[in-house]
Structure formats: C-alpha cells, structure tokens
C-alpha cells in the first residue's frame, strides 16, 4: 500500500502518524526504527503484535548460511551472512482487566506516533476501549541511547480514564521470534529459523537476562532488562524466564486518572570472543549505568547529542516543506545508522530492517560517508576504520581472484564476500575505488591526516595494487580495465566502464600521493619509488572512451552502439523483475546513474558541454530501478541547469521512504537515498564539489525553493552557506586561521571568520532543453503532490 | 587413474581389457556401455559389485529437481531435469558352494572383457577360485538389441573346472540402487536419492516385472526379465519380488566340465501417458518376441544391423593402429547413442553415464549429427525430429526472453531450458543456428527435402525470427548481435562473436531459401515476401569484426585487445576449476575452438591466408579445456597444412575415452569428441566441406597415416574415398544418375558409377610454421605413445 500524505503530515522536525493503519505497519516499523548504529529497534508496537516484520538487530551480529548454486564456479562464496533478528526486548504487553490491549480488538479511540528528530525518541499516545468497555490512555516513549551505546529504554505509562481498572503489564525478552515468510523478490532477506541457541537465562529482582549463541557463526549475545515501576497503590512484581523468553509482570489497580508508569531499561552486548560471564556483566553494567543516569538523564543526554549533531548537519529548505522534513528525516537516520557503529559496518538499510540480509555495499562509501564526512566526521572515520579492519580478508579474496593487493567484498557483514551472483558482485570492482577515495575525501575535507597514517595508506596501497593487476595496457599503450561492472547493473561485465576507469585512476594517484606523504610507512608496505611511478603512469594512460559522433561518453566501451531498449513494449519496472539479464545487459538501458555519477565524483574530468550532453543522453535511458540513482540525477541535472528536474529528483530521493516510492520500505530504509537527499540539496543546488581538493560551491536554487541554508565542516572550519535566488552568504566559524580560500562559481573566493561574505548567485544556463525520461519513469511523486505544476 | 595402453591393447575391431583393474572400473563401465539409443547399460560387472557407478538408463526418462539460486533472476529455470538410474536388470549374482563370486575375494585367475564392435556385444571370460578353492569358469555375453528396441539380453554360462560344485544363480531386477556420493566438479550429475516410487511388482514363471513411477516428473517405467535355463542335471528355479527388487533363483550341481547356461531377456518400457497395464503388456510383448527370436536369432540380427552400418560408416586408417581402433570405437558409440533413439534426444554422453545430468547440448547438432548425416542419415533425421518436437517449448522460452520465434535450450532432456548459469547457458544463442543448420545440412547432404517440409521449415523460420529480434542494426547499418556467448565459454556475454554472427546469417539465409522452396507452408507460418527479404538484408549486413593490424579475426568484438592470459603463472587445467570467470572472461584465453570452428563450418567466409593466420593466433591461446575442441583443431590445422599437429589432435579427440585423457570418462563417454574423431579424419585429412552446398573433398595425409579410406552417403550415392600420400581414388556406388559433380582440391571433378576416378593429392603448403600451444597444452597423449617422435 502506498503511503498517502495524510498519514504523515509534513512537519519540519518530526514524523507524525496520526492514526494507525495496520496495513502500513511494515513501512511504519521502518520509518519509526530507532538505532544508535549498534542497537537497532524496528518501530514495532510495544505489545508485539500485529506486526509487519519484528526486528531487533545488533550491528555485526549475523549467522552464516550456505549459498546454494545449481551450477557452481571457482571462487563463488560458499557461505552467506545474514543479520539475525535478536532477542526482542521492546515487548510490553498490557492486560486491562484480563483483556489484552490489542489494536485489532476493542475500540481504538485515538492513536498517534511521533518520531521526534530533535529529542531522538519515538512517542506513542493511544486511547483505547477494551471489548468490555474499559477506557485507558497509553503514553510511551522509546529511545535507543546515543550516549550509552549498549542501552535502549522505554517509558510506559497507562492511565485509567473512566472506570477503575486492574492492569497487568508483562515486560518481556523474546528470542527466536516467528518471522513472516519471505517473498520472491531477490532483494529481500533470507529467513533464518531459530537462529539463536540458548546459553543461559537468569531472573533478577526487577528484570531478567538471556544469553544466546548463533549456531554456525558462533557469536554470543546477551540481552538484559530492568524496570523502575511507579504505581499509585498496591503493586505486585514478579519475574520468570525460560530458554527463549523472560518476563517481568507488574499488576496493580488504577482509579480513573491514576497512572502506572514503568521505565524499562534494555541492555545488549555481543561478542565473538568474550565469555558468557563477561557478556552477562557487560549487560548488567549497562543496566546499572542507566539506572544511575535515570530516565530524564537519558533524555537529556540524547537531546545534547542531537543538538550537537544538528548544529553542523542541519539543512534548511524554505518553500518546500516536504523536502525540509525529508532531508532531516534522512540525516536523522544516517546519524542513527552510524553514530555508535564504532568499527562495525553501516549496512545499506542501517539497522531498520533485514532487507539485503543486513549487508553493507558500496552504498556506505559511495553515498553515506560523503554526507558524514561533512557533518559527523568522527562517524565517517569509524566507518572507514571498520573497512580497514577487513583488509586481510580483502587480501585473501584478491589472492583467490589471482589479483594483487586487496579486493573488498561487494556485499558483506563481517568482511567476506557474500555475493552469490558475480556479474553484479565480484565484477563490481569499483567498490575498491569507492572505498579508497572515501579515505581520500575524509583527508581532504577534514584535513585530518592521522587516519591515513593509521590505516588509510594500507587501503590505498592495496587497492592501487589490485587495480594495477586488474587492468592492462593494450597495444596502443592505453590502460584498460575489462570484464567489470560499473554502478549500472543493467550492463555488466564490460570494457572500460568510464566510472570505474576514472575512479581507478584516481585511486592510483591518491595512493601514489599518500605514499609520498608517508614514505616510511609506504616502505614498510613494500612500496618503492618505482611502484609509485608505475601507478602514476598507469593513471595517466587510462582509456576513457568517447563517442565523437554523438558527442557523449559511452558508459562503457561500445555502449552507445548497443541496441536501444524498446520502451514502447517493455516498461514494467523495476525491469529486473520482468526481464532477463541476457536481454538487459546488451541494451542501452540504465538501472542507475553510472556515467552521470562519474561526472559528479570526477567532475574535473568533463567539460560543461560534455556534462550537458551526457546528462541529456543518459536521462532518456535511465529507469532508476535502483534507489542509488535519483540523488545523483538530481546533482547532475542541477549542474547542467535543469533545476526543476533536479528538484523533482531531490524529492524522489528524499521522500523514497516517507512515501514508500520503491514499495519496499517495509524491508528497511534506503539509507543511501536518504543520505542522497542531503547530497541532492548540497551538491545539487549548493554546487558542492571536492574532487579537486578545494571546497567548491556554486549555489543556484530551483523555483520551488526560496532559500537554502546548510552547514559544512571543512578542515578546522564550520561553513554555513545561506542562499536565495540572488545571493549567497558564506559564514565561517571556528578555525585557527581566520581565512579560507574556496571556489565560488568556479572563481576563487576568500572567506573570513570576521564577517560573512555575500556574493551573487551565478545563474546556470542550460545548454539543452530538459530531457525526457523513459515512459513511466518521470521522477516519482512530486508532480502529483504539486498538483501538476 | 590414467588408462595405460597395456590395459586395452590396440586391436582394430574390438576393445579388449586383458585383466580387471578395480580402480579402472568407473572408466571401463563407460567404455563397455551398451546402448541402442533407447536403453543404455553401463558396463557394470554382472554380479553388481564392485562398481564405479551403477547405471541403467532409458532415453528421455528423467526426474525433475529444483534448481537453487542464492540470488535468483528473472527467467532463470526453476526446475532441472536429471537422468534417472532406472531398475537395474543386468545383475546376475553367482554363489559357488555358498560363496559369492566376487572378484575382490578368492583368486581371480584370469579376467577378460571384450567389446566386439562388429557383433555388437560385450563378452566376458573369467576363471576364479573361490576362497574355499573351488575353481569355476565364467562366460557371459551381453547385448542391447539394435533390432528390438525395448530389449537387452545376457547369456550367462558357468562351468565347474576341477571339482564338483553347487552353483546358485540369482538373476535380479533392482530399483533405487545406492549411488556413490557426488564430487565437487560441476560437470558431474546431481544425485537423486530413491527417484522411483513403486507402482507394482509381479513374479512370473521364469522371471518378474517391476513397475515404477518418478515422483515429480510422473513418468512410469516397466522392467521385466525372463530366463531360459539349461543345466546338466536337477535344477531348482524359483522367483520372488518386493517393491524395489525381484529375483529369479536357479540352483544346480555341476560336475567338472559341466555348465549351467542361462539366457536372461530384459525388457524395458516407459511412458508419460500410457497406463500401468499398457506398460506391463509392452514389456511382456518384448520378452515374448525375444523368446521367439531366441538368443542366436538376436545375435544374428545384431550382426546384420552392424554390417549394414559399417558398410557405409567405416573408416580405415592404415599406419595408425590407435586411431584405427579409436575411430571405430567412436563410430560404434555414436551409432549406439542414436540408432533407436527415435525422436528422443542424443545426450552429450549418450546413455553411458550420468555426467551432465544426461542432458543434450549443442553437441548433438554441432558434432554428432554431421557424422550421422553422412553415415546413418535416418538416425540423423530422427534426432532432428526430436528437436522439432520441442519447438513449442522453445517458442515459450523465446517469449519469456522477449524474443520472437523460438529459443532452444542450452541443455535439456525433455525440451525445457535447464541451464542454471545463463552466461554459459541462455546466452549461448548459437545453439539455435546449430540446430537450424543441422536441418539444412541434412537436406543438402541427403537430398531428402521431406524432412524440411515435415518439420525443418518451422524450425528454420522460428530460429530466423529469433535471430532477427535478437540482433540489431547499429547507426552504420551493420547488423550486430550483442550479449551472446559463442562456443568458447571462457569469454562470455560478448559483442559480435564471429561464430555466432556467421551462423546466424547462414540461419537467416537458409530460412529464406526454405520459405522460397515451400511458399505455401511458409505462408501458413505467416512468412511473407517482406519478411524473407528482411532476413536476407539482415544476413547481408552482418558485422564480422576483423583486426586489420594483426590480420586476424577477433573471436568477438575487441578480443584481440583483451589482456593476454598469464600462461607463466596460471596453468592448472582445466582453468575453470582453478580460476574465476571474472578473470577468465576478459582475457585472451580460449576454452575451445570458437573462431576456429567458424572457419570449419563457414569455410567459405574466410580466405586461405586468414585461415592460416587465425589458426596460428588461436592455437597459442586455446587450452582445450572442453572436449569439443581437439577435433575442430585437427580439422583446421590440417586445412592450413599443419598435418602432424592435426594428427596429434585427431589422436586426442579419438582417444579421449580409451585413454581417459580428460579424466572424467567415469561419468560417461564424450560423444561429441568420439564423433569428432571421424570428423578429424574425414574433414581434416579428407578435406570434406559442405557449406557451399557441394560435396568438397581435398585429401592430404600426415606422415603417420599411410592410407585412409572412408565412405560417405551423398544424396542417392555412396562415395568411397581412398587416399594415400600421392593419389586419391573416388568410387561411386548406387544412385539413379550415373554421374556426380564434386569439388576436389577446389576444382570441379565429375565422378561416375562406371569406374573409380583417380586424381593426384594436392599438397597443402603451410603459410606459417606450426604454432605453439599454451604451456602444458600440447596435444594430449600421442607424443608419449609415439615415444617422442
């Protein structure tokens, strides 16, 4: 079911659901997911059911499952990794005079849920009449603490309204929950049945503890709960537990107007190494710390963390309330996915659902980290440290593939390659350059060279070696890379994908420069002057195909002479669910921005006219069957002056989940697209580029946005960019030096901490009229919402 | 274990195993397999064990199994088909004074098995002393009748040598035999556990009957046995049966020199439609007919059938006893696989093993039918009728792939696509042209146009339509086919594979001509003049890439500028078991003849110089990791004058199974390569070509062959070609007309039935010196056998 606007009114700092639609539960559970990057709780109802997909996740906690092949091949991964739905501690069941509170029965007088993006909590208010007519009011607040990594907490209040009632509250821990059966969509996760083997269970005075272990991956986890109960009169508190469940029961009587209030502290820990007692103590310590902080203390910490985040991340969008709300929603979830991930991966769906098995892809370095690098650089650094911690696995994979250096996985949780379809997995070698260049971007943007010394250099060197062994010189001396798949998965295993070739060359150059900056460390990695020179020569010789007749870059060698896709007959999207690869691959049909992404990330390699012609060419052939496309199209359409079209794409990228535009928000949020909403606004309408090592900006707004204000961290500075249709005001904060040289609209501009700098907007004049998209693939949603303007 | 020469001495008309090597049983069971194309019996020992792989097969009798995908895609086949090891009726167990005859116990004084290729039987003679010292002599003869399609028979004689013995003979039918566990090699079959569900069992006076049904495919089969027993004295005969077994027991006493003789008749039938009583009666009828014919009658029929076959199929190779034996062995098995297949497929391993799941590939039309068309055209016609019977399935597959016409499966038993790896399956579109051109070759060679009218036209039209919808015109008007895989599976999903493009163009032209010959039938298929004209235009516009600088044809667009394979470091063959596709595909390494096969089958499209340069280029890059390569390399090396190298390849193609050169003869014989031994001699040293519609010959022998004599059917004629190093003698038999115009060494030559025509050999002078092969991939075996000459 499509999400209609009425269900979630547009409000700047919160996402509010005004009434409960049971058929939207799968989506709302994703939208209302809370996470700190370590613990993830889907927005399941407190009482546990009905549900779309019950979900409680610990970052990096996975089970191994065999990957079957009807026809296997050498180097195919044999083991997959799937995120585990761990012990659910969100459940608080309520009985009103022995009738269970269940929104499907009795009478739900009102129901509202609010995701508060400044407070970092999910609030719920409900009024309900039981089938027997007993009227209660419910207020709950749920949080996953950003300050205390192993902790979540729930405040649960129930109030008798008209009559005296006896309420029974069962607060639970439940392991090995039933899961709904899987769909046929290959993008959905495998279902693990009973993944958790019980290790121990323990009931304490006010709570309980369960410890479980995965059967194949051998990871151990502990979940503990503890309760603070306030009741007006007599109270009965008891506990009980079994292998896969624990329960704390509270019983009391309430007169009209009286309330029962329970604060539930929920602690999680897991480890592949630590012992059962160590894990048990870790959970107990988290509980103790939470009790010490107290509920209000947790709320305060949460608010402080978010105030600090928003101070340098917020984007203000005047004139477009949808995008205003959506970009904050996107930033909020990007923050949630990364804040306390601390050397664990940032999965493509964060910890909001089990889609794609909880794997991380190039989405992390390609789409999420660019945003974090400018807004929360410490989180970006931690994510990069996670990647570098998998370097040995990547080196082993490279050796298996008969390549030098390191070959990072296309999809993984722990670090091993888990892609079972190599043409859109292993062949996507560009992930290696995406990773390497994320280190380089971090260094350029933050000015922090310590990460490079700590681990970035080894990643740059190993990826450079991989590229050098993968490509080859043809008889004309051109350096070519064959048999790779670029970002566009509808044309795979190709020659000289422009995106890949440009990124590989950049990777080689960045590695060479990093070695020159760190000659001793480079020496320890066995890199000599000769190898550095070879990388530079190779990068200089890179072959970038160009179609002189059409004046466009073919996405890969020969692309512009492939068969055109028959858009008259074959327009059931996404095409991958209706057309075989054998037909998609050799046609000029593009799943997602590829050459267009190359123009964003390697902007300097294209002239303005090339950009305009390329955008025009690929717009007509791109179906956006991937969620990694709209934000890039927004950026490059803005770049070449199609500002209204860019605005439409911004809307699609930003509203992807709030409007369930891809119809799979139920499986988890599209983190890359949510991050991309920031990119669409900041790189699209703000004109941010950094591929020349300089902070380059060039704001120009579409008609529907009257003012755009965003913040960036650049080296020691915080920069605020505030633009309307005529003028841009740059404000510089912090920094030991008082001046910063940036590029504005292609010209050097000096900013100072003394006072804001105000300059006129340079209008972008399009070379070509706005292009058409394939039939049925105009940007999703905004036209309708705009009433066709 | 490699087969050494000593185990199988070289004899012209038989394959003789001089002693029993238990570790060679897997291979000898394949070599000694008997079949008539309908029933196949592996050469398992009569007593059932030890065994390498127990095997009894009925052509077309398969079970369905799910094809698993860790990441599925649209259009992937969900069901596989696997040949079933059906009820084993070969088993005759012998007890000598209660001690079972088992070659692993007691003392095997002598053991010989002979495959007699003129008699069409497998003989076995053994002398054995039981652990208790009782000496017996055993003589058995096994046949699968070529005259009576549903029948096999065994003559079993046991003789007491030194002492009186009591012998017990248990003749059995056994369903759902245990199978050895599978290996990791993807080319080996899936193992079905208990594929046969019992339907009924019945004991008759002298035998028994078992009826079973497959669980998923729902096919029903009956196996019946009956016995004629001759014993010198008192005899006890009894029968018994269960759901999965039946047994006839014979007990008698033998004085020294006395013999017990049993003739076992074995009848099989299966059907997807017919009822249990109908199948039971069918088996009973086959038994009755066999009893009427009698053992000697069956032997006589068998010999007559084979005399007739050899009369027009035999190839005599003087000077090379290995090849002499091997080419007859090859022809014998090709005959066995096809003789009575009668509108069932010819699997790539015939009915000699379960390798490749018993599937048929393009091997049939590409390698086996060219031989049958010249030697047993009725069998070729039946095989083509089978293909055409699957046309509706091929049309459904084309529709699924969004193509017009028909798309035949890469691998199948019944007709549905069963390939689970599309880059080397569905993308191998050339199978469609291979099939279409097999119809065309049949018409040209036999002069029989009735098959075209009966079913060939529809195949030609539907494949032409498929090609037309698959390819496209580029902006220069060139017709190109992208995203296909040619014969070489180490470079897949490419542009403009020369083999595919030439064959597709030939397919289009042949379809156009067939429609012009059959305008009414074409009209019924909806083919009008315009469509015919379009096919011709398209064929004329086909793009054949050519590398002007190197003077060679790239196997596909850009092939000659791909990375060279590193043959210094990566030479563990077959490469596919040691290297990932992601590295093989974009390198200049060739699994099997591809461009070289194009030069054989579309000879007219290449100049002599191009052929010489192309052979030289691809020889250096071809690993022959497929058994479909050596014969083609033999033909084209001979064509360009590398006669000694061609001789080596002929040896490799011919001896592939007799010497287990690919080390997987255990899974079944390599029927295409065995057929290819004929092709290597006849098309290689005989120079046979037919792609211009004319019988073209051009004999020239290598030094190791002093004389080559072979027979061909050409239209109404039988032609005998008898050549030595100097002269060729053409002899014409049959034919209503007395004259036939052929091409000899490129010149027209008229043959007459009146007298032989004797002409000089035209020596082939090589343009280039003999090429090197990749390290370790010089032709297999002959150097060693020749002692390094």
Distance from CA of B402 to the nearest CA of A (A): 8
Task: Tell which residue, B737, B706, B736, has the closest CA to residue B722.
Answer: B706
Three-class secondary structure of residue A342 per DSSP? coil
Task: Tell which residue, B273, B209, B240, B268, has the closest CA to residue B85.
Answer: B268
Contact call for A577 and B421, based on CB within 8 A = no
Distances (CA, A) of B298 to B147, B151, B305, B352: 8, 10, 11, 22
Q: How many CA atoms lie within 13 A of B308 on its CB side?
A: 13
Residues 6+ apart with CB under 8 A from A529: none
Check if A767 contacts B (Cβ < 8 Å): no
Helical pair A630-639 and A671-679, crossing angle rounded to 10 deg: 20
Q: In chain B, which residues have their Cβ closer than 8 Å to the Cβ of A421?
A: 70-71, 73
CA B464 to the chain's CA centroid: 27
> Least CB-CB distance to A578: which of B72, B74, B563?
B74
Burial class (CB within 10 angstroms; exposed 0-12, middle 13-18, buried 19+) of B200: middle
Classify B11-67+77-311 by CATH class.
mainly beta
Q: Which of residues 164-203 of B touch A (CB under 8 A)?
A: 184, 186
Residues 6+ apart with CB under 8 A from B202: B208, B209, B210, B241, B280
> Least CB-CB distance to A585: which of B419, B493, B570?
B493
> Least CB-CB distance to B561: which of A75, A475, A586?
A475
Find the closest chain B residue to A578 by CA distance. B74
Quote the percentage of chain A above a pLDDT of 70.
Answer: 97
φ, ψ of residue A283 to 5 degrees: the values are -65, -40
Q: Is the pLDDT of residue A187 over 70?
A: no
Distances (CA, A) of A310 to A1, A34, B171, B204: 33, 17, 86, 90
Give B187-244 as a 3 state SS string. CCCCCCCCCEEEEEEEECCCEEEEEEEECCCCCEEEEEEEEEEECCCCEEEEEEECCC
pLDDT at site A398? 98
Q: In chain B, which residues have their Cβ closer than 8 Å to the Cβ of A557?
A: 558
Q: Give one word for B630, left, alpha or beta, with left for phi > 0 and alpha for psi -120 to 50.
A: alpha
pLDDT at site B309? 96
Contact call for B402 and A570, based on CB within 8 A = yes
Task: Tell which residue, A96, A242, A226, has the closest CA to residue A153.
Answer: A226
Q: Over range B110-120, report the average pLDDT.
A: 98
Cis check for the bond before B663: say yes or no (omega within 30 of 0): no
Q: Over range B531-537, report the average pLDDT.
A: 98
Q: Under a CB-based contact definition with an 8 Å cutoff, are residues B227 and B265 in contact?
A: yes
Distance from CA of B569 to the nearest CA of A (A): 10
Quote the percentage of chain B above a pLDDT of 70.
Answer: 97
Contact call for A558 and B426, based on CB within 8 A = no
Q: Over range A469-498, report the average pLDDT.
A: 97
Q: Is the pLDDT of residue B9 over 90?
A: no
> Residue A198 pairs with which residues in a beta bridge?
A212
Name the pLDDT band for A188 (thresholds 50, 70, 90).
low
Between CA A364 and CA A382 the distance in angstroms is 12
Between CA B433 and CA B466 the distance in angstroms is 10
Q: Is the pLDDT of residue A102 over 70?
A: yes
How many other C-beta atoms are found inside a 10 Å radius of the C-beta of residue A222? 29
Kind of pairing, strands B587-588 and B563-564? parallel
Q: Is the pLDDT of residue B321 over 60?
A: yes
Higher pLDDT, A11 or B166: B166
φ, ψ of residue B756 to 5 degrees: the values are -65, 155
Q: In chain B, which residues have their Cβ closer than 8 Å to the Cβ of A68?
A: 68-70
Name the pLDDT band for A11 (thresholds 50, 70, 90).
confident
Give B763-784 as a 3 state SS string. CCCCCCCCCCCCCCCCCCCHHH
Q: Is the pLDDT of residue A784 over 50?
A: no
Name the pLDDT band for A5 (thresholds 50, 70, 90).
low
**Cα Dmax for chain A:** 89
Between CA A118 and CA A335 the distance in angstroms is 12
Q: In chain B, which residues have their Cβ closer than 8 Å to the Cβ of A482?
A: 562-563, 586
Annotated catalytic sites of A, by residue? 489
**Annotation: CATH topology of B314-719+766-785:** Glycosyltransferase (1.50.10)
Distance from CA of B129 to the nearest CA of A (A): 47
Q: Is the pLDDT of residue A571 over 90?
A: no
Between CA A125 and CA A138 the distance in angstroms is 6
How many other C-beta atoms are found inside a 10 Å radius of the C-beta of residue B66? 11
Q: From the candidates B355, B427, B483, B584, which should be mutated to test the interface with A, based on the most A CB atoms within 10 A?
A: B483
Annotated catalytic sites of B, by residue? 489
Contact call for B493 and A561, based on CB within 8 A = no
Distances (CA, A) of A515 to A462, A511, A522, B93, B555: 12, 6, 5, 76, 41
Name the strand (E) or helix (H) holding A238: strand A235-241
pLDDT at site B671? 98
Q: Under a CB-based contact definition with an 8 Å cutoff, are residues B344 and B338 in contact?
A: no
Between CA A287 and CA A292 the distance in angstroms is 9
Q: How do residues B453-480 score in pLDDT, each as one tens digit?
A: 999 999 999 999 999 999 999 999 999 9
Name the pLDDT band for A456 (thresholds 50, 70, 90).
very high
**Annotation: CATH topology of A14-19+87-311:** Beta-galactosidase; Chain A, domain 5 (2.70.98)
> Least CB-CB distance to B580: which of A401, A585, A586?
A401
pLDDT at site A347? 97
Q: Is the pLDDT of residue B534 over 90?
A: yes
Burial class (CB within 10 angstroms; exposed 0-12, middle 13-18, buried 19+) of A520: exposed
Q: Would you mind telling me the total number of residues written for chain A in this entry?
A: 789
Between CA B445 and CA B369 the distance in angstroms is 12
Q: Is the pLDDT of residue B183 over 70?
A: no
Residues 6+ apart with CB under 8 A from A175: A86, A87, A88, A196, A198, A210, A212, A223, A243, A244, A245
Q: Under a CB-based contact definition with an 8 Å cutoff, are residues A546 and A555 in contact?
A: no
pLDDT at site A686? 98
Say what the pTM is. 0.95
Between CA A166 and CA A95 the distance in angstroms is 8
Three-class secondary structure of residue A286 per DSSP? helix
Q: Over range B419-432, report the average pLDDT.
A: 97
pLDDT at site B788? 36
Find the closest chain A residue to B585 by CA distance. A483
Mean pLDDT taken over chain B: 95
Between CA B513 and CA A210 the distance in angstroms is 78
pLDDT at site B784? 47
The token pair that represents B118 in the structure block: 């003129």
Q: Over range A38-65, report the average pLDDT.
A: 97
The domains of chain B are located at 11-67+77-311, 314-719+766-785
Check if B480 contacts A (Cβ < 8 Å): yes
Name the strand (E) or helix (H) holding B708: strand B707-714
Name the pLDDT band for A789 (thresholds 50, 70, 90).
very low
Name the pLDDT band for A182 (thresholds 50, 70, 90).
low
Task: Tell which residue, A238, A247, A229, has the closest CA to residue A158.
Answer: A229
Check if B426 contacts A (Cβ < 8 Å): yes
CA B755 to the chain's CA centroid: 36
CA A365 to the chain's CA centroid: 10
Contact call for B419 and A71, based on CB within 8 A = yes
Pick from A61-75, A476-490, B517-531: least confident:
A61-75
Distances (CA, A) of A387 to A365, A383, A394, A458, B716: 10, 7, 10, 11, 74
Mean pLDDT taken over chain A: 95
Name the strand (E) or helix (H) holding A717: strand A717-723
Residues 6+ apart with CB under 8 A from A566: none
Q: Over range A525-531, report the average pLDDT.
A: 97
The token pair that represents B38 in the structure block: 């309908």
Between CA A364 and CA A729 the distance in angstroms is 31
Residues 6+ apart with CB under 8 A from A60: A270, A344, A345, A413, A414
Q: In chain B, which residues have their Cβ closer than 8 Å to the Cβ of A69?
A: 68-70, 420
pLDDT at site A734? 86
Residues 6+ apart with CB under 8 A from A221: A58, A61, A86, A87, A196, A211, A212, A213, A268, A269, A270, A279
Q: Would you mind telling me the total number of residues written for chain B in this entry?
A: 789
Burial class (CB within 10 angstroms; exposed 0-12, middle 13-18, buried 19+) of A789: exposed
Q: Is the pLDDT of residue B190 over 70?
A: no
Q: Under a CB-based contact definition with an 8 Å cutoff, are residues A131 and A49 in contact?
A: no
Contact call for A475 and B549, based on CB within 8 A = yes
What string of DSSP letters covers A472-521?
A: EE-TTS-EE-EEE--S-TTS-SEE--HHHHHHHHHHHHHHHHHHHHSHHH
Name the pLDDT band for A184 (thresholds 50, 70, 90).
low
Q: How do residues B640-689 score in pLDDT, each as one tens digit?
A: 999 999 999 999 999 999 999 999 999 999 999 999 999 999 999 999 99
Distance from CA of A602 to the nearest CA of B (A): 26
pLDDT at site B789? 35
Between CA B435 and CA B394 the distance in angstroms is 12
pLDDT at site A2? 53
How many other C-beta atoms are found inside a 10 Å radius of the C-beta of residue A300? 13
pLDDT at site B182? 66
Q: Over range B288-313, report the average pLDDT.
A: 97
3-state helix, strand, coil in chain B (%, to 5): 35, 25, 40
Q: Under a CB-based contact definition with an 8 Å cutoff, are residues B474 and B451 in contact?
A: no
> Least CB-CB distance to B586: which of A403, A483, A549?
A483
| DSSP 8-class letter at A754 | S
> Residue B269 pairs with which residues in a beta bridge?
B222
């Amino acid at each position: 079911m499509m999400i209609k606007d009425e269900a979630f009114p547009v409000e700047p700092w919160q996402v509010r659901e005004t009434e409960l639609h049971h058929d939207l539960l799968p989506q709302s559970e994703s939208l209302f997911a809370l996470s700190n990057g370590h613990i993830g709780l889907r927005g399941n109802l407190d009482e546990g059911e009905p549900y779309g997909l019950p979900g409680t996740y610990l970052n990096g906690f996975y089970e191994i499952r065999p990957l079957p092949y009807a026809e296997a091949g050498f180097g195919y991964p044999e083991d997959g990794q799937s995120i585990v739905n761990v012990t659910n501690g969100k459940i608080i069941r309520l009985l009103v005079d022995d009738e269970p509170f269940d929104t499907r029965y009795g009478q739900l007088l009102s129901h509202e849920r609010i995701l508060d993006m400044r407070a970092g909590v999910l609030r719920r208010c409900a009024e309900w009449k039981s089938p027997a007519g007993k009227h209660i009011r419910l207020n709950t607040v749920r949080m996953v603490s950003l300050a205390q990594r192993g902790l979540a907490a729930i405040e649960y209040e129930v109030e008798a309204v008209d009559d005296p009632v006896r309420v029974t509250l069962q607060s639970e821990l439940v392991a090995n929950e039933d899961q709904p059966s899987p769909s046929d969509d290959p993008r959905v996760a495998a279902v693990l049945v009973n993944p958790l083997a019980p290790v121990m269970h323990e009931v304490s005075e006010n709570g309980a503890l369960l410890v479980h272990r995965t059967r194949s991956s051998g990871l151990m986890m502990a979940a503990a709960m503890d309760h603070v109960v306030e009741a007006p009169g007599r109270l009965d508190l008891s506990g009980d537990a079994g292998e896969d469940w624990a329960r704390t029961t509270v019983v009391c009587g309430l007169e009209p107007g009286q309330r029962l209030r329970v604060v539930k502290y929920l602690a999680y820990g897991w480890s592949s190494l630590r012992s059962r007692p160590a894990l048990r103590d870790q959970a107990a310590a988290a509980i103790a710390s939470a009790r010490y902080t107290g509920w209000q203390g947790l709320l305060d910490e949460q608010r402080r963390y978010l105030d600090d985040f928003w101070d340098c991340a917020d984007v203000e969008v005047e004139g477009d309330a949808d995008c205003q709300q959506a970009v904050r929603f996107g930033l909020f979830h990007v923050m949630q996915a990364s804040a306390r991930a601390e050397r664990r991966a940032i999965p493509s769906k964060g910890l909001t659902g089990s889609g794609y098995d909880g794997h991380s892809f190039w989405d992390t370095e390609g789409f999420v980290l660019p945003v974090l690098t400018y807004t929360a650089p410490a989180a970006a650094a931690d994510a990069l440290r996670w990647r570098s911690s998998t370097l040995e696995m990547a080196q082993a994979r490279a050796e298996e593939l008969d390549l030098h250096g390191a070959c990072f996985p296309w999809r993984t949780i722990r670090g091993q390659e888990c892609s079972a379809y190599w043409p859109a997995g292993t062949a996507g070698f560009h992930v290696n350059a995406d990773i390497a260049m994320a280190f380089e971007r971090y260094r350029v943007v933050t000015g922090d060279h310590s990460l490079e010394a700590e681990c970035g250099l080894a990643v740059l060197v190993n990826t450079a070696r991989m590229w050098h062994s993968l490509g080859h010189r043809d008889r004309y001396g051109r350096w070519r890379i064959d048999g790779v798949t670029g970002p566009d998965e509808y044309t795979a295993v190709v020659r000289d994908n422009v995106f890949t070739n440009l990124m590989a060359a950049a990777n080689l150059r960045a590695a060479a420069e990093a070695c020159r900056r760190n000659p001793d460390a480079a020496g320890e990695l066995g890199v000599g002057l000769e190898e550095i020179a070879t990388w530079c020569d190779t990068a200089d010789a890179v072959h970038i195909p160009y179609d002189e007749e059409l004046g466009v870059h073919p996405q890969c060698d020969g692309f512009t002479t492939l068969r055109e896709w028959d858009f008259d007959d074959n327009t059931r999207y996404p095409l991958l669910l209706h057309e075989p690869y054998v037909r998609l691959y050799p046609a000029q049909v593009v799943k997602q921005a590829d050459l267009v992404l190359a123009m964003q990330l390697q902007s300097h390699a294209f002239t303005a006219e090339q950009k305009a012609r390329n955008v025009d060419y690929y717009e007509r052939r791109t179906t956006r069957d991937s969620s990694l496309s709209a934000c890039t199209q927004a950026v490059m359409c803005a770049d070449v002056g199609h500002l209204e079209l860019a605005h439409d794409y911004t809307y699609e990228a930003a509203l992807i989940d709030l409007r369930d535009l891809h119809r799979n928000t139920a499986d988890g949020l599209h983190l890359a697209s949510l991050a991309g909403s920031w990119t669409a606004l900041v790189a699209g309408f703000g004109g941010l580029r950094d591929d020349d090592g300089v902070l380059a900006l060039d704001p120009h707004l579409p008609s529907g946005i009257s003012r755009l204000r965003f913040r960036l961290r650049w080296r020691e500075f915080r920069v605020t960019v505030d633009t309307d249709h005529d003028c841009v005001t740059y404000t510089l904060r912090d920094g030991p030096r008082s001046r910063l040289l940036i590029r504005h609209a292609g010209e050097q501009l000096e900013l100072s901490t003394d006072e804001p700098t105000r300059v006129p907007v340079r209008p972008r004049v399009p070379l070509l009229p706005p292009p058409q998209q394939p039939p049925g693939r105009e940007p999703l949603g905004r036209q309708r919402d705009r009433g066709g303007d």
